[in-house]
Amino acid sequence: MIHELPTPLGTLTLAADRRGALVYLGFRDHEPRPKLLARAAAADLTDDPALLAPIRAQLEAYCRGELKTFDLALAPQGTPFQLRVWAELCRIPHGTTISYGELARRLGDPKLTRAVGTANGANPISIVVPCHRVIGTDGSLTGYAGGLDLKRALLALEQGPGPFGWLG
């Protein structure tokens, strides 16, 4: 089952499997991502509040500016290349950014910048797999499924002492 969670950043849509691993996390009002939602809905999803509680608690702490590193089981569905990109995204420290080119270099081939950008855009687990931390080579904010205002808000949240309070 798909769950919704109101936050200061907007309503998050999330889904976890029967083990409690996060399968999908996105922004309801900003991301028309029917393929990702359909993939998540096809997984064996949970409604168990006990399995969803850690996800909710960590997202709440993140939005309050209290959590810098998520400790959640993840089960993103993607190609082997996408999984490599998403794993590398998780290595970008809280409060920092890198360019798409740097991400491609970290994956071993600087010529993969476009492929990295495409995989970054297909990330099914926003925030926790921090695709918002990837920016243009010139430092510009480029591409974000939730929109550039939301990307800017996530980066600002990570730069300072909790500018958002939890609404939920």
Tokens 């999908």 sit on residue:
24
Strands 12-16 and 22-27: antiparallel
pLDDT over 50 (residue 167):
no
Higher-scoring residue by pLDDT: 7, 128: 128
Name the residue among 1, 7, 13 with its Cα closest to residue 126: 13
Q: Domains of the chain, with CATH numbers?
A: 3-63 (no CATH), 80-159 (1.10.10.10)
Q: What is the pLDDT of residues 119-128, one digit of tens each?
A: 998 999 999 9
Q: Which residue from 73, 111, 87, 86 is spatially nearest to 36, judged by alpha carbons?
A: 86
CA distance 46 to 108: 37
Q: What is the pTM of this model?
A: 0.87
Instruction: Of 16, 21, 128, give the one whose Cα is nearest residue 69.
Output: 128
Separation of alpha carbons 104 and 97, rounded Å: 14
pLDDT for 168 beyond 50: no
Confidence band, pLDDT 50/70/90 cuts, at residue 42:
low
The confidence band for 130, taking pLDDT boundaries of 50, 70 and 90, is very high
Single out the catalytic residue among 131, 134, 155, 157: 131
- Reported as a single tens digit per residue, the pLDDT across 69-125 is 999 999 998 999 999 999 999 999 999 999 999 999 999 999 999 999 999 989 999
Is 90 catalytic? The answer is no
- The strand pairing partners of 27, in sequence order, are 12
Average confidence (pLDDT) over 27-55: 75
Q: Is 25 helix (H, G, I), strand (E, B) or coil?
A: strand
pLDDT at 61 over 70: yes
**Residue 161: pLDDT over 90:** no
Burial of 76 (0-12, 13-18, 19+ CB in 10 A): buried
